[in-house]
Structure 1
Amino acid sequence: MSGKSEEVLIMFAEFVESTHGRRQSCYLAYRYSLKRKSQNGSEYWVRVKCNATATSYSDASIVVRDHHTHLPDETDMEILQIRKTLKRKVMEESGPIDRIVEEAYHAANRQSQSSDLIFNLPLIHRMKNTSQKQRCKTGSPIPQSIEQLPYPLPDVYCNTTKSELFLLYDGSLGGTRSLVFASYNDIVYLSQQEHWYSDGTFYTCPSIFYQIYSIHAYYDGMSTPCVFALLGGESEET
């Protein structure tokens, strides 16, 4: 037995992008990461999950060296697509990370025809942690003071998920910038109720504001929050 690796010539190999934006090549459910490029235009690839290697050339042909120490993962490309779609949603949408990840996870569970897909997906709490880090890297830095808060606020913070106006007021109250939020339907509902309740809380308030002040409509034994105000102070004028 010579121990020499077997080489297979593959034409028109598929190229994809990893979740980190890196170029990868694919062959028979195996993915390869680009290791280096040579001066003659060829590229040297290494298998993502083992030491198998391949070399691609400018004519789109690839020489694959069969050193695989495991069977091909038929769900690998599907999982890659799920993770890339999830990353795009996390970057483009402003909804809570937990909800976006859970929806993607359950959608994959419903649509998959193989139990191996869910088994091979990263644990859901890891997907949430990764998604949170991705959003933090590409998002705007968190303001450390009211003065650092952008003015005007980006539209994503001014509208509901149905693209209806949510920001009612952005200006000075008691000499400090404050924000008041409520949807049109919430205002209508509040106006129709006889009993209102209001209260301020400090525990869940963003650190750059002094308190969250909310107005609730009370009807049939149920209290419904309708108006939310992020206030910069506690004065009577505010």
Structure 2
Amino acid sequence: MTTIKFVGDLRKWIREEATPVQAIYNAEVDLQAPDDVPHLPSFPSLKSSLYRHRRTTIHVLPQTRADAHLEGQFTTARDGRRFLLCEDGQEDKIIIFPTDEQMRCLAEADTLYMDGTFSCCPHLWNQLYTVHARIGYSMYPLVFALLPNRQQTTYTRMFTLLKTEVQQMFNRPHAPATHPNLYRFVDLIQGIQKSEGAKLEHINFGAAPQPRKKVYRESEGRFLRLKEKLTRDQKTSIEFLDAVGHLLKLD
């Protein structure tokens, strides 16, 4: 069963990442328990089938931003909902991703938080710009935008595109955030207190806290093994970050 899962994880990673195949194999081996490693198939024995799998899933990458045009599976979320909002421009193309539900939350939010990331951006674009909003007690990313540069005109274009889409989708320039009335709020936090209070009472009477799920325990074990290899200089920082990123994505 370990071998079947190991090969399945390799194929999944190869489908979703452009990382070299052997680097994917090595990173996946590093995530396994030490006792399982001797029983795993070697890279030479899997090499041909893994490269065949890569060839069947690889896509021809655009050479310019004007050549980039997303379609099919790259325009929808994993559950089939629309995810690509728009592609605007040619050499200065902006690509924006939110679902309709995320757009609704964006329209109703009273405060937005923005951030720009450069290191994880596709090489034809200059940055990944994200828009977040607080919903309840948590912060959620609502919009992901690929921007060609960091010019003010580009930011203006992006927000103009979002504003136009909000107005067209909901037929209003802005919808104010809705807040519960006082009595509904008290009822809500009473429910939270009842749920969490029961757990605390069990612990106070000597009951052990609920153990974490197996998947989280296994993830922590893998992470600690990776950290130990980094400490012993058995892994470079880049290899460590690649492996951790894969671990977080799988789990």
TM-score tier (shorter) = 0.3 to 0.5
Q: TM-score, normalised by structure 2?
A: 0.43
> Which gives a bigger RCO, structure 1 or 2 (Cα 8 Å, sep 6+)?
2
What TM-score do you get using the length of structure 1 for normalisation?
0.44
Give the number of the structure whose residues are more often helix, by fraction. 2
